[in-house]
Every structure is written in C-alpha cells, then in structure tokens.
Amino acid sequence: MNHYEAKQADRKAKLEARAAQAEAQAATTYDRAKQMGEAIPFGQPILVGHHSEGRDRNYRQRIHNTFGKAFDLQKKADHYVKKAAAVGDGGVSSDDPEAIAKLMRQVEQLTANQERMKKINQVIRKHKGDSEGQRRAFLELGFSDESAQKLIAHDYAGRLGFPSYALTNNNVNIRRIQQRIKQLQANQEREPVSIQGTGYVYAEDVDENRVMFMFEGKPEKATREILKRHGFRWSPTRGAWVRQLNNAAIWEAKAVMQLLNGSTDN
C-alpha cells in the first residue's frame, strides 16, 4: 500500500467510524423517544381545556422532535456509509504515485479488448450465415464452448458481434487515458515553483500534484471570488487555495496573479 492508498484507507476508516457513531446515536435517540411515548397511555387524547393541556402538547411535541432527530441521525449514518463505500471507486486518481502504472495497465487491457472485438467480428464476417463454422472458429481461438455459443447468438437488435460504436468508444477511452498518462509524465518532469507575491505565495507543488495560492490570513472577499472564479478551492489540510496540477490550472493561476497584482497596484 503506497502513501496515497494509505490516506484513502484512513479516510475510509474515518467515514466508517462516523457512520457507526451516527448509527449508535440514532438508536439511542429512537429508544429515548419510544420510552417517552410509553409514558402516555395508549389512545389517551389531549384534554382540551384542562390545566394539563399545554404541558401535554409540549411533551408530545418533544416526542415528535426526538423521533425526528433519530431519523435525521440515521440519514446521517447512511450518508457516511455511502461516502465510505465510494472511497477508491472513482477510478485512478492523479494523486496516486502509481497512477501512471495503473493507467498503463488500463490501456493494455483496453487494447487487448479492442483486438479481441476485432477478431470476433472478423470470424463472424468470414463465416457469415454459418453459425456452426463461427462456433468452430471461436473454439480454435481458445474460447470455451459456452462463450462461443454466446458469441453466435443475436443480440436484442438482431446483431452478431460488436457494433462499430463499441470499438469507437473503446478507442476513445484508450486515447483519453493515453493523454492522461502524457500529462502525468509531464507533471513528474516539472520543477517545483514558488513565487512570492504581494500578500500571497504562489506554488506549483509536484509532490502534492497541486497548484496553490497561500495567504498570511483569510483573503478578502474579492480575492476569494477571483480564486473561485478560476477554479481554486480552499483546502483546510493544506492551508491553501488549490487546483490539481496541470496546464489548465497553471494558465488560470497566471490569470489570478495578474488580477491580484493589478488589484494590489490599485
């Protein structure tokens, strides 16, 4: 497990702990509301006009509010469970130090799938109208009989093999991932950058894979709006306004510096 994966595992564990805590609080709150409700005899109406009416209504409202709090806590627990389950399911992160190797493996798999789809379509064209010939050809290519039977079966639209859009989409994915690899390789070759501005420090941190603006204190609202408008978001863990390191982020950072320097000059 590398450093990034350890951070992901730690984040997942924290979310799971929050879910468990909220779940326990929900159960305790629900039990308290239930016990409060048991204090009122079943079917007991509010005695309108009786001196106890106001106190009774308030008590029943507290029961209602306590049940509502229990349900809200359960929703909170469910929210954290979903967030914990989603950790690590967003594909390969550019922050992962093994991202390039993982993306290269994806390209290899997609390329193999592309060749496989092409071979299947070639067999189907070569033995068009001859399902038995197609089946034997697939067996010769190493497919199991079960797989061969599935390949010679028509789909919902009456087609055999893979439609052209499937190959096109697969190729698009290959090119997209290859472009990401080139970007990550270029990032690795970058030198760290640190520029002292008036009231801020601009940095390109290769290890963190971030473009960052750091201020001595909380920047003014106008400055925050400029940063947000150019895609920068506050990161409490880094104490900086950040974007992922890439050419687009660097371009936007230059625009931010021009605006900040211009506003400073004014």
Q: Quickly state the pLDDT bin for 264 (edges 50, 70, 90).
A: very low
Residue 176 pLDDT > 90: yes
pLDDT at 8: 83
Asked if residues 222 and 229 have their Cβ atoms less than 8 Å apart, the reply is no
pLDDT at 215: 95
Q: Which of 38-52, 67-81, 212-226 has the lowest mean pLDDT?
A: 38-52
**Predicted confidence (pLDDT) per residue in 77-112, tens digit:** 999 999 888 887 778 888 888 889 999 999 999 999
pLDDT at 266: 38
**Domain layout of the chain by residue ranges:** 3-86, 99-186, 193-265
Residue 42 pLDDT > 80: no
Cα distances from 103 to residues 33, 96, 140, 179, 183, in angstroms, run 52, 11, 32, 10, 12
Q: What is the mean pLDDT of residues 127-144?
A: 90
User: CA-CA distance, 106 to 100, in Å (whole number)?
Assistant: 10
Residue 233 pLDDT > 80: yes
Residues in the chain: 266
What is the three-state SS of 37-63?
A: HHCCCCCCCCCCCCCCHHHHHHHHHHH
Helix H or strand E encompassing 181: helix 164-188
Q: Which of 36-45, 99-108, 167-176, 200-209 has the lowest mean pLDDT?
A: 36-45
pLDDT at 7: 82
Residue that wins the pLDDT comparison between 163 and 3: 163
Burial class (CB in 10 A: 0-12, 13-18, 19+), 120: buried
Mean pLDDT of the chain: 89
pLDDT at 79: 93
Residue 184 pLDDT > 50: yes
pLDDT at 263: 58
Q: What is the mean pLDDT of residues 176-190?
A: 89
Phi, psi of 256 (to 5 degrees): -65, -45
The residue to which tokens 């159960």 are assigned: 27
> What global pTM score does this model have?
0.63
Residue 128 pLDDT > 60: yes
**Predicted confidence (pLDDT) per residue in 189-227, tens digit:** 888 999 999 889 999 998 888 999 999 999 999 999 999
pLDDT more than 90, % of the chain: 57
Residue 230 pLDDT > 70: yes
User: CA-CA distance, 97 to 18, in Å (whole number)?
Assistant: 28
Q: Quickly state the pLDDT bin for 46 (edges 50, 70, 90).
A: confident
pLDDT more than 70, % of the chain: 98
pLDDT at 265: 42
**Predicted confidence (pLDDT) per residue in 245-255, tens digit:** 988 999 999 99
- Other C-beta atoms closer than 10 Å to the C-beta of 136 total 14
